[in-house]
Structure 1
Amino acid sequence: MENGMEVEIGVGGIASRRRGEKKELFHVIHKVPSGDSPYVRAKHLQLVEKDADASIVWFWKAINAGDRVDSALKDMVVVMKQQDRAEEAVEAIKSFRHLCSKQAQESLDNLLIDLYKKCGRIEEQIELLKQKLKLIYMGEAFNGKTTKTARSHGKKFQVSIKQETSRILGNLGWAYMQQNNYNAAEIVYRKAQAIEPDANKACNLGLCLIKQGRYDEARYILDDVCNRRFSGSDDGRTTQRAQTLLQEIESQKSLPESNLNIEEEIMSRLDIVMNEWTPFRSKRLPIFEEISSFRDQMAC
């Protein structure tokens, strides 16, 4: 009834409306955008038809057509990585990132770091991680804010600058370990632990110390993991790893302890790692004031 008059909807109109509702429900269920643009076609091939190769072709078309370039490039890179085409994905980011918005650059850097790791391109991974740390040090990360909204598995959550710094340092420590540079990795992991203690990074720090023959120090840290004194210690795999490393120490206990002066080793190498950041100290965030305080305490 409309304005006192009945409005009849024909059978065809009802059917058309139902088709529209069904189509809309389809997009919600499969999490694909509506429309018929190259990007929409690519997402349909990726998520509905499960045709990865065809979706990559259409993501390329979307980028070339200027259709949702930020999303098209990131989605294409993810599919390439899943197809073990990491080297191609690296080149795709380098070739097309200039077409993307400023807001997309950080996400592209994170994808590159992961791709470098997968490809074994450790030097490039290290350099990019250092660049990200420099942005934090200069106060330019997160657009100058102390937190940002991140997304994982379709869920949004808040990440603080301290968490991001610790995460990047953890990745940098891992990269140094792949180069068997356990001295540099130790320094990075100690910095990460000073910012935000974590059981997994504690295990990696313990391994660095074991590789340097400093078993008593390693045992002290790994015991803390087993006694659940770190965040993440409740993870059974992390605790098991700590126990395995403790067993390794026992098997090596007949070897002599290193006579390295821990404080001097850390400070000398810390100066090397941080040297390039020195000119920017006037702009550093509060987290780096905490790091400087940590250094001063160790120097006493």
Structure 2
Amino acid sequence: MEEGGLKKRGASGEKKDLFHVIHKVPAGDSPYVRAKHLQLVEKDPEAAILWFHEAINARDRVDSALKDMAVVMKQQDRGAEAIEAIRSFRHLCSKQAQESLDNLLVDLYKKCGRIEEQIKLLKQKLHMIYLGEAFNGKTTKTARSHGKKFQISIKQETARILGNLGWAYMQQHNYDAAEVVYHKAQMIEPDANKACNLGLCLIRQGRFNEARHVLEDVIHRRLSGSHDWKIVKKAEELMDEIHMQPAITALELNFDMEEEIMERIDLMINHWSPFRSRRLPIFEEISTLRDQIAC
């Protein structure tokens, strides 16, 4: 009888464990566990937000509770509240959580149309790479997308941040700044999507011949990401836009750019101190944009 009872309890425990695995809900009865259950099982985002807040106040898995709360708020079109929540509670989070919180803020600023704040944070992230403080001092980190884990390098992260910065400048119609940033991103890690955005940037400046050369690399599958038919289609649509434009002489690149671009980006990439011990090899690979264009 006792043995049978043990088996029954074991089966019940296994079933409970299987429930947590299937629904990706942590085990236990804490405020954070309750919040995750409301979010993932009961599908009640408003109640989940309240319990995530309760978890933060109770210091229960604060790192995860704040990130999850901000994500649910974003999904509920409460981006401004999510921004304020991160600003208010991030001091309670660990040092290891700060970088992912910044990534969340970048997305939230973009969603809310707060471009200036997005640009400021992206530059701050570049500065952390310059100082060797990104990835908690490591050269790679584990990221997650659609439930899958993968490794991302400092080089890839730098190109990604520059791509986001270029797009932010595009939203401000600051095409000079966007072009410089996209060129630097492509020098680090050529990519079809960034090439399309660079092509669009050049088109907006009336530099159609240069844009055509950039877009041809995408259409002819010469760049990483060109296997994505959506990106190729985008490049083809931009080429069609070029064909409808009157032939004009390409404009010279305006290097009299806003002072902050030259100081924040070129300083980080091109003006290294010879005494800096945490210098990253990635920036040594990048020559100045002027030299590249002059060639």
TM-score for the superposition, normalised by structure 1 = 0.90
Pick aligned residue for 2:53 from 32, 57, 60: 60
Task: Provide the residue aligned with 1:79 in structure 2.
Answer: 72
Deviates more, 1:290-299 or 1:106-115: 290-299
Task: Provide the residue aligned with 2:280 in structure 1.
Answer: 285
List per-residue Cα deviations over 1:105-148 (Å, max 9, x = no partner): 00000000000000000000000000000011111111222111
Pick aligned residue for 1:149 from 125, 142, 148: 142
TM-fit CA distance, 1:15: 2.7
Task: Provide the residue aligned with 2:25 in structure 1.
Answer: 32
> Structure 1 residue 247 and structure 2 residue 240: aligned?
yes
Structure 2 CA distance for partners of 1:268 and 1:102, relative to 1, 3 Å = closer
Q: Secondary structure at the match of 2:246?
A: coil
> Structure 1 residue 23 and structure 2 residue 52: aligned?
no
Q: CA RMSD in A?
A: 2.2
Structure 2 CA distance for partners of 1:264 and 1:72, relative to 1, 3 Å = closer
Which residue identity is paired with 2:241?
E
> Percent sequence identity over matched residues?
69
Pick aligned residue for 2:107 from 114, 122, 134: 114
User: How is 1:250-261 mapped onto 2 (pairs within 5 angstroms)?
Assistant: 250-254=243-247, 256-260=248-252
TM-fit CA distance, 1:152: 1.6
Q: How many residues align?
A: 291
Tell whether the 8 Å contact from 1:62 to 1:72 is kept in structure 2 after alignment.
Answer: yes
Tell whether the 8 Å contact from 2:218 to 2:232 is kept in structure 1 after alignment.
Answer: yes
Which residue identity is paired with 1:56?
I
Task: Provide the residue aligned with 1:96 in structure 2.
Answer: 89
TM-score for the superposition, normalised by structure 2 = 0.92
Unmatched 5+ residue regions in structure 2? none
TM-fit CA distance, 1:275: 5.4
Aligned counterparts of 1:91 and 1:270: Cα–Cα separation in 2: 28
TM-fit CA distance, 1:151: 1.4
TM-fit CA distance, 1:257: 2.4
TM-fit CA distance, 1:156: 1.3
Aligned counterparts of 1:291 and 1:267: Cα–Cα separation in 2: 21
Q: Secondary structure at the match of 1:148?
A: strand
List per-residue Cα deviations over 1:143-167 (Å, max 9, x = no partner): 2221111112222111011100000
Which residue identity is paired with 1:291?
I
> Structure 1 residue 206 and structure 2 residue 199: aligned?
yes
Unmatched 5+ residue regions in structure 1? 1-7
Pick aligned residue for 2:262 from 264, 271, 274: 271
Aligned counterparts of 2:218 and 2:257: Cα–Cα separation in 1: 22
Which residue identity is paired with 1:228?
R
Task: Provide the residue aligned with 1:4 in structure 2.
Answer: none
Task: Provide the residue aligned with 2:187 in structure 1.
Answer: 194
TM-fit CA distance, 1:73: 0.4
Which residue identity is paired with 1:289?
E
